[in-house]
Structure 1
């Protein structure tokens, strides 16, 4: 007494046993003409053929999972994946709230991720002086995040790959970018058209240039500034006005080491 199976069914069974018993039915079994099955295994085979298996699971890639989550979010469903933790601040910020921190952290270079943020300069704490800011950053060897709030309560600024300093020429790398919350975060990255990232003068700080304008310019007292579209970043004006008055300003650095 025996059972008759089609070629497709035999292939399905062979695949099943290769997956679950590779040592017995894998490469070593190719040269064999017969496979002896006990009654229990034969019943299992017949059950698989007569009743299709409905899986409650599937194997997908991380990219596919994120794509599914984005679809769910667009349809108003909450994502199951938890949000990234907020950066750790060793000092209190008067300008950045949780929304600002969450948004900015996702755009920072990988080499700064996971490191505490330390307040290196603040107009509230240290006074309004570009000279004092240069002095506070002189000992640093890490990127810095510039945060400005103008008199219209708009928050904007820049990430610089190197700390601000007085220089005879422009410095920095393509990691440098400008940003503005207006009210949602907009990030303006390097276009590759020039390398006018940062230049520090004793009486001003300049970021981005080209086309006759600076992307961001601050005066020696850190009281006034201006922002225009420039070739370095192709940015929109960071403030609602080209020429703005600074309410408060902070510079944050990243503790990349214990030193």
Structure 2
């Protein structure tokens, strides 16, 4: 969330920060990461990052970096995906509390290396993810390359997960597709999930299939298979217990086309990512 202020309204900005965060004069361990504010130029792709220091903020705004800019946006980056890139280590903490950075595209930040996702995939997927997932890092919770091919292991790795998950599948034809699930995958007697759940495919162009509203067969799982979407002649996405064989059919839940080149496919690689709270 952002609040726009005129660069010249320093007094109002002072009051805003003072009321919002009275603890700004933090005297804790200097090596401990402290929350930051970001002052973002709406007309330029730059952001100015400052610590919670009223004197520093006033000093900065008294000599604006871009005197042509008329408006600035004040946003908090606590728990944001920028934390790692802006304050990735204790060594990055310097005495000077401000610095200037170019703003990258608003892509999800992956804490681990992905064998399946690149910036193109992330850019397309990010546009359709719920707002509640934005600003967080994404952590790899399961990968066939790391953990082997086992649905049982996938469930076990998600036992403590309570955040949305992103399933990424690559088949033997090098096609990438999968699903965003509002709920982590688990064994359940009944279907679970919400309308935030969607399917996607890069086969070859990006396609996204949102909830149709026809039924609520979002996700269901048992020890033998994982299924997404239903109510028709087959599941929108089905994976076996070995995460080796799968199938994809059109389903009423998402009104999707088959995600893979063929309705039945062989899994080459599979990853599951979750929001890191």
Give the corresponding residue for 2:117: 96
Q: Following superposition, which runs of at least 4 residues in structure 1 exceed 3 angstroms of deviation?
A: none
Give the corresponding residue for 1:228: 249
Match of 2:189 among 150, 168, 172: 168
Conserved 8 A contact 2:201-2:207: yes
Give the corresponding residue for 2:201: 180
Query: In structure 2, how many angstroms separate the alpha carbons of the residues matched to 1:137 and 1:211?
Result: 28
Give the corresponding residue for 2:264: 243
Give the corresponding residue for 2:227: 206
CA shift for structure 1 position 85? 2.9
CA shift for structure 1 position 233? 0.3
CA shift for structure 1 position 184? 2.0
Match of 2:274 among 248, 253, 258: 253
Query: In structure 2, how many angstroms separate the alpha carbons of the residues matched to 1:194 and 1:179?
Result: 18
Query: In structure 2, how many angstroms separate the alpha carbons of the residues matched to 1:213 and 1:168?
Result: 18
Query: In structure 1, how many angstroms separate the alpha carbons of the residues matched to 2:110 and 2:232?
Result: 37
CA shift for structure 1 position 83? 6.6
- Say yes or no: does 1:142 pair with 2:142: no
Query: In structure 1, how many angstroms separate the alpha carbons of the residues matched to 2:258 and 2:165?
Result: 21
SS of the residue corresponding to residue 125 of structure 2 reads helix
SS of the residue corresponding to residue 244 of structure 1 reads strand
Query: In structure 2, how many angstroms separate the alpha carbons of the residues matched to 1:94 and 1:211?
Result: 32
Instruction: Describe the superposition over 1:23-60 as per-residue Cα deviations: whole angstroms up to 9, x where unpaired.
Output: xxxxxxxxxxxxxxxxxxxxxxxxxxxxxxxxxxxxxx
SS of the residue corresponding to residue 213 of structure 2 reads coil
- Say yes or no: does 1:107 pair with 2:128: yes
Give the corresponding residue for 1:78: none
- RMSD across aligned positions (CA): 1.0
Question: Scaled by the length of structure 2, what TM-score is found?
Answer: 0.62
Give the corresponding residue for 1:131: 152
Give the corresponding residue for 1:84: 105
Query: In structure 1, how many angstroms separate the alpha carbons of the residues matched to 2:242 and 2:176?
Result: 19
Query: In structure 2, how many angstroms separate the alpha carbons of the residues matched to 1:211 and 1:199?
Result: 15
Question: Scaled by the length of structure 1, what TM-score is found?
Answer: 0.66
SS of the residue corresponding to residue 120 of structure 2 reads helix
Query: Compared with structure 1, are the counterparts of its residues 173 and 121 closer, same or farther at alpha carbon in structure 2 (3 Å cutoff)?
Result: same
SS of the residue corresponding to residue 179 of structure 1 reads strand
Higher Cα radius of gyration: 1
SS of the residue corresponding to residue 253 of structure 1 reads strand
CA shift for structure 1 position 97? 1.0
Query: In structure 2, how many angstroms separate the alpha carbons of the residues matched to 1:83 and 1:210?
Result: 41
After TM superposition, the structure 1 = structure 2 runs for residues 23-102 of structure 1, keeping only pairs within 5 Å, are 84-102=105-123
CA shift for structure 1 position 213? 1.3
Query: In structure 2, how many angstroms separate the alpha carbons of the residues matched to 1:178 and 1:99?
Result: 17
